[in-house]
Amino acid sequence: MYLLSGSDGQMDRAGSSADSPDDLVQQVLEAAETLIVTWNEAAQGALPRLSSLQLQALTVARRSPGINLTGLAERVGAAPPTASRLCDRLEAAGLLERRRATTSRREIGLILTPQGLAMLEDLAERRLAAINQVLRHVPVDQREALRSGLVAFAEATKRAADAGSGD
């Protein structure tokens, strides 16, 4: 957010501790947007090229091996038929497998293939390199403040989610 400063009408970047909560929110939005752009640009070189929903589905399957289709649909915010088609495409690309669950012969679990795991590892390396490249331009004396702020934001996100779920 830009603010007029002084009588000369020059624009200055907002950022002092006296900024309003709305200014802080705007600054966080702008910073998050640049982080998201950097994050997504790193994915552009990954092969195969996948949509953000496909990447999200693979990430969920990696974090929750054997998750069923209903669970995946809930986690990615899609209807079960949409999630099923999504899994069809990921399976056709050799990134995901459907397997019978060990606990129930009727239930199908979703497992990443070695190719799917390798693709996510490659993507993680690309994202790490992209973030590292940006962090080299953050002044050394501000890096700890950045880390601390991001950790605080992540912790607040978890607290807000817990409060919203009634826990």
Q: What is the pLDDT of residue 167?
A: 52
Q: Report the percent of the chain where pLDDT is more than 90.
A: 68
Judge contact between 69 and 82, C-beta under 8 A. no
Which amino acid, one-letter code, is at 29? L
The number of beta carbons lying within 10 Å of the beta carbon of residue 105 is 8
With tokens 């973030």, the residue in question is 131
Distance CA 165, CA 123 (A): 31
Express each pLDDT in 96-126 by its tens digit. 999 987 777 788 899 999 999 999 999 999 9
C-alpha span between 107 and 9 (Å, rounded): 66
Q: Do residues 67 and 109 lie in contact, with contact meaning Cβ atoms separated by under 8 Å?
A: yes
